[in-house]
Amino acid sequence: MKNSINVGVVQQQAWNDKQRSLAESERGIRALAQRGAQLVLLQELHATRYFCQCEDTEVFDLAEPLEGPTTRFLSELAGELDIVIVGSIFERRAPGLYHNTAVVLDTDRGLVGTYRKMHIPDDPGFYEKFYFTPGDAGHSKGFTPIDTSVGRLGVLVCWDQWYPEAARLMALAGADMLLYPTAIGWDPSDESDEKQRQKEAWTLIQRSHAVSNGIPVLAANRVGHEEDPSDVGGGIDFWGGSFVAGAQGEMLALAGEGTEELLVTLSLARSEQVRRIWPYLRDRRIDAYGDITERYLDR
């Protein structure tokens, strides 16, 4: 593991035209690489629009095999630029079996790891259970960090970011940092105060994972308004707000609501110092946490 690395986050719009969307991803990746980025995080489903606003079986045509065109494109780019890229695909694993999958491409080694989204939401405008099967749990699956040339990456996806259990398990497995590709935004009809509360909660919960685990957090979100193809809802205003936080939750870089690239130098060695001051892993009462695996405690 390097003591410090330059990390980048691409915040972009996306369309159903994969070539157009990937061209926008490439633009951001190249801009960051030129500035010295060694690791670049892309947002959730960056190659297409966020199609989960309605349920439509034709959308499954957008899915790709794990090592399909999008993964190959990102792999070639990682090799050319000598960087690590964390991308996102709508994965077709088998007929009728699809995942929301993060792919990790490491310089000239190509695909070195994947993470299939574990927590799948099902809410108005976010009908993901129709499209995605949760990732598999168990050894070498689920919440398992991915080893790369820049460190051990704890990759999680969007709805996973609200769950402290997921972040903790990645930290316990030795993740050097947490990365959250995301697609989240407002219902245009929400009041401005409610919008602000939602966005602040989203930022706060992820920064709290940095604090409670003593490791940095990178979050990449999309931007722009995307219509509901069914015309039932009012669409989603994706709020951007991508950021990089340090091991004490301090905000190192924060994007606005437009297309942006963030670049930060992270001191990975600092996590050791932070954990010496705040030794949460030392003081965990693992003998008393058995009930955490229960759905609810009816006592």
Query: Mean pLDDT, consecutive 10-residue segments, the chain of 299 residues?
Result: 89 95 98 98 98 97 97 98 98 97 97 97 96 86 94 97 98 97 96 97 98 98 96 95 98 96 95 96 96 93
Give the closest residue to 83 by CA, choosing from 27, 145, 8: 8
For residues 156 and 178, the answer to whether their CB atoms sit within 8 Å is yes
Give ∠ CA 205-22-92 in degrees, rounded to 5: 75
For residues 178 and 214, the answer to whether their CB atoms sit within 8 Å is no
Q: What is the pLDDT of residue 139?
A: 64
Q: Which of the residues are catalytic? A: 44, 117, 158
CB contact set of 284 (below 8 Å; sequence gap of 6+): none
Query: Domains in the chain, ordered, with CATH?
Result: 4-293 (3.60.110.10)
What are the pLDDT digits (tens) for 287-298? 999 999 999 999
Q: What is the pLDDT of residue 138?
A: 73
